[in-house]
Structures are given as C-alpha cells and as structure tokens.
C-alpha cells in the first residue's frame, strides 16, 4: 500500500490498580501474569546490561516509526518499558495489567481496517501461538504507509545454542512457523525463540507471498551474543 512497512524484526534478537481476574481462552490469569512481569521489572532494574540493550532497541523502534496519521500501538507491553521511552504509544497486552491502557489480542486486533499508523513490539512474535494471524491482522489494520516494527530473538548457530542450553525459553528450529497448529503454549509468556528466524530468514519468500502488502523493508541483526549471555530478564546470567 505505498510506503514500505518494516515487518520483521530482527536484532537478536515489551489502567491502574491490581488486576485479579481470570479470562477465558487459555491465557491464564492476569494476576499470574502481573506476578511474572513484576519479577521481570525487578530484573530490569537489577541488570544494567539488559536494560541498556532494551533501551537501545526501543530507540531503534522510535527512529523507524511511520509518520502517517493514526495511533502507535504497542502489542505485548509487558512491564511498561517502551512507553517510558515513547509516551505517545498505546500500551496493550493480552491480559489487563497495571502497565497497559487496553487489552488486545495480537492475533485478533480490535482496530478498524487501515486505521493504525504503527504496530510495535519487543519480544512478542515468538510468544504467539499463531504468528500468521498477527501478520494477517497487521496487513488489514495498518494504514497505507504504516509499519509493523518488531525486535525479536535471532537464532544463529551460536546464539541458538546459547538459547537452547542457557535460556529459560524453548528454541525449536524444526517447527513450521506458518502452520496453523499452535507454535507455543497458551500462556502469554510461553515461547519459541526460533520462530522469527524461521519466518524472516528461512521463510522470507513464503512470507512475502502470503502477505504481499507487508513489504519487508529492513532486517537487521545486532547485539551478537550480548542478550543470551546477559540471561535476559529471567535466565541465568553468563556475563555482567
């Protein structure tokens, strides 16, 4: 639809009150998610190397935002780090948390056709049970010239080994990332770290064929081993 939309991320690769509600659909309870996110927030504060990486990635996202009319929507806002960097973003997540403004399922977006300027996410696609549903929804909801910008784990032979052996999340390179069957568990933090590598590197031509309006404008690998060695927000640190 005109201007390119950065559709795949790539570096190596985030209301008031205490929610205590249970939503149907296999996503678990908001209270359980909030507990995990509070632990991640504590790790963010305690791990300056991790915090610096994410702040650099958030700057990269902001630099690439489309300037077309419409909202910038963050999917999978987690513990609220990105809006601290870009307050204009609408923070959303699959369940209500203290850091979100709206509850949004990335695989079934509640936005009108061609209405959103930017969909941004950090470490989200590899958590989705059905990533193709996100891409179909993004193709529908983004305005002409709008952008989907994602920062996700990249599994090289070396970083993939680190993810498989030292990281708390699964990294399975043998799945079909375009399959309809679930590619991760139903929980909001279940994951397969290999998904984005499979989609935007090994499966790029198929991605282009399936969603031709989501033109892949940039793929960029950065940070090398810094993230897996840092342990991320929940893993074992192998470096300061």
pLDDT tens per residue, range 43-89: 889 888 888 889 999 999 999 999 999 999 999 999 999 998 899 99
The two structure tokens encoding residue 146: 């709008």
Higher pLDDT, 202 or 29: 202
pLDDT of 28 above 70: no
pLDDT of 230 above 90: no
Model's pTM, two decimal places?
0.81
């Amino acid at each position: 639809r005109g201007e390119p939309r950065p559709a795949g991320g790539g570096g190596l690769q985030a209301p008031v009150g205490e929610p205590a509600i249970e939503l149907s659909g296999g996503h678990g309870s908001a209270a359980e998610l909030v507990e995990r996110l509070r632990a991640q927030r504590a790790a963010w504060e305690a791990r300056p190397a991790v915090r610096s990486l994410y702040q650099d990635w958030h700057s990269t996202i902001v630099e690439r935002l489309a300037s077309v009319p419409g909202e910038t929507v963050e999917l999978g806002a987690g513990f609220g780090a990105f809006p601290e960097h870009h307050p204009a973003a609408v923070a959303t997540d699959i369940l209500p948390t203290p850091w979100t403004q709206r509850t949004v399922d990335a695989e079934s977006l509640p936005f009108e056709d061609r209405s959103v300027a930017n969909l941004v996410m950090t470490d989200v696609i590899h958590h989705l049970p059905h990533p193709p549903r996100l891409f179909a929804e993004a193709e529908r909801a983004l305005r002409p010239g709008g952008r989907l910008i994602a920062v996700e784990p990249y599994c090289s032979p070396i970083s993939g080994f680190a993810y498989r052996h030292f990281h708390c999340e699964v990294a399975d390179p043998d799945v079909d990332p375009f399959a309809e069957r679930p590619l991760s568990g139903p929980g909001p933090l279940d994951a397969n770290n290999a998904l984005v590598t499979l989609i935007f590197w090994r499966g790029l031509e198929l991605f282009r064929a399936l969603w031709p309006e989501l033109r892949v404008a940039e793929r960029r690998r950065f940070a090398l081993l810094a993230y897996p060695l840092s342990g991320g927000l929940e893993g074992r640190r192998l470096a300061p």
